[in-house]
Amino acid sequence: MSRRLFVVPAVVTVVALGLGGCSSGGDAAAGAASSPGASSGAKIKVVASTDVWGNLAASIGGDKVAVTSIITSPDADPHEYEANTRNQLALADATVVLENGGGYDDFMDRMLKSAKNTSATVLNAVTISGKKAAGGAELNEHVWYDFPTVVKVIDQIQQAYAKAAPGDAAAFQQNAAALKQKIDGLTQQEASLKAKYDGQPVAITEPVPLYLLDAVGLQNKTPDEFSEAIEEDSDVPAKVLDQTLQLYSKHEVKLLAYNAQTTGPETEKVLNAAKQNNIPVVPVTETLPSGKDYVGWMSANLTAVGAALGQ
């Protein structure tokens, strides 16, 4: 199971935004309490494990929801997460809970159980995706880089909101439709890149962006033992590290997609090897960059991939 958790300061972020809005600081207790029969006068309280899902949740709910995103720092080292009282209180009061699943944010289930909140609608993105591990390999749980999954989650969020506040169902449907139209634009951006670069060899440090790279038709040449060891925070065998470094010295890949939120001696060696051999580096993250919403973030990722491949 992946160790994909987080170390962050003991803070949370609450947002109550319109379509495509970005997270901003606020009180975790903001917003009126909501219930399954809430009217348009009450805000639905939502808790998301990361600001990625929180941003999407806020886009769909607009000013009718108050969203608490537990993980918000783009500078966080995503290894462990330490719970705090404010997070626990937010979960105790939530009507809708969004978790990634797949072993990525197991702290959510533990905290929800401790909060004794059995009435919240819990949406698990990996479960919603329908993705399963194949061939004995671990499931790539970074499903927010997979646009078909994101669309499925959007639909589930919309339905959860409509159940919580039936009087606002039309607004939620309209916001969800507008957001899905933007996701369609991202899918078209992927298709355009695939038409140009299908089959091109690339490398990664971790599986974080693999769904996006696969959709563009790119072939990951990184040894599985390397990316798995980095993701599990374990030592990379010397032979595997050497094989990985040769991808750059022999110019066998066109770009390196580098997880900028986790670093260590092996990843630093890979990054340096790419730079020394003029292999373009595309940094990727697991949380929203400052000032970006989900759609803008993913569009920038795709633009960066296209620019790197076009060099």
Domains of the chain by residue range = 13-186, 191-309
Least confident of 132-136, 175-179, 217-221, 247-251: 132-136
If one compares 141 and 9, the residue with the highest pLDDT of the two is: 141
Angle of CA points 37, 43, 47, to nearest 5°: 100
258-to-47, 87, 275, 280 alpha-carbon distances in Å: 29, 30, 12, 10
Which pLDDT value is given to residue 133? 84
Of 3.20.20.70, 3.40.50.920, 3.40.50.1980, 3.40.190.10, which CATH number belongs to 191-309?
Answer: 3.40.50.1980
34-to-37, 44, 67, 95, 163 alpha-carbon distances in Å: 8, 5, 12, 7, 11
Provide CATH code, domain 13-186.
3.40.50.1980
Which pLDDT value is given to residue 135? 73
> Which band of pLDDT confidence, cut at 50, 70 and 90, is reported for residue 29?
very low
Q: What mean pLDDT do residues 167-183 have?
A: 98
Average pLDDT, the chain: 87
Which pLDDT value is given to residue 76? 60
Q: What percent of the chain has pLDDT over 70?
A: 84
Q: Which of 143, 147, 228, 160 is nearest to 189 (CA)?
A: 147
Least confident of 102-106, 143-147, 302-306: 102-106
pLDDT beyond 60 at 13 = no
pLDDT digits (tens, 9 = 90+) for 33-81: 333 344 447 899 999 999 999 999 999 999 999 999 999 887 665 456 6
Q: Which of 297, 250, 291 is nearest to 274 (CA)?
A: 250
pLDDT beyond 80 at 132 = yes
pLDDT beyond 60 at 264 = yes
Q: Where are the alpha helices (DSSP H) in the chain?
A: 51-61, 85-92, 107-115, 125-129, 147-164, 169-197, 210-215, 224-231, 238-249, 265-276, 294-309
Which pLDDT value is given to residue 123? 98
pLDDT beyond 90 at 5 = no
Query: Model's pTM, two decimal places?
Result: 0.87
If one compares 169 and 262, the residue with the highest pLDDT of the two is: 169
Which pLDDT value is given to residue 146? 98
pLDDT digits (tens, 9 = 90+) for 81-131: 676 888 899 999 999 999 999 999 988 988 999 999 999 999 999 999 999
Which pLDDT value is given to residue 80? 64
**Strand order across the beta sheet in which 13-15 lies:** 13-15, 65-71, 44-50, 96-99, 121-124
pLDDT digits (tens, 9 = 90+) for 16-25: 333 333 333 3
Which pLDDT value is given to residue 137? 76
Which pLDDT value is given to residue 77? 52
Least confident of 69-73, 183-187, 269-273: 69-73
Cβ pair 49, 98 in contact under 8 A? yes
- For every residue of 50-105, DSSP letters joined together read EHHHHHHHHHHHGGGEEEEEEE--TT-BTT-----HHHHHHHHT-SEEEE--TTS-
Which pLDDT value is given to residue 85? 87
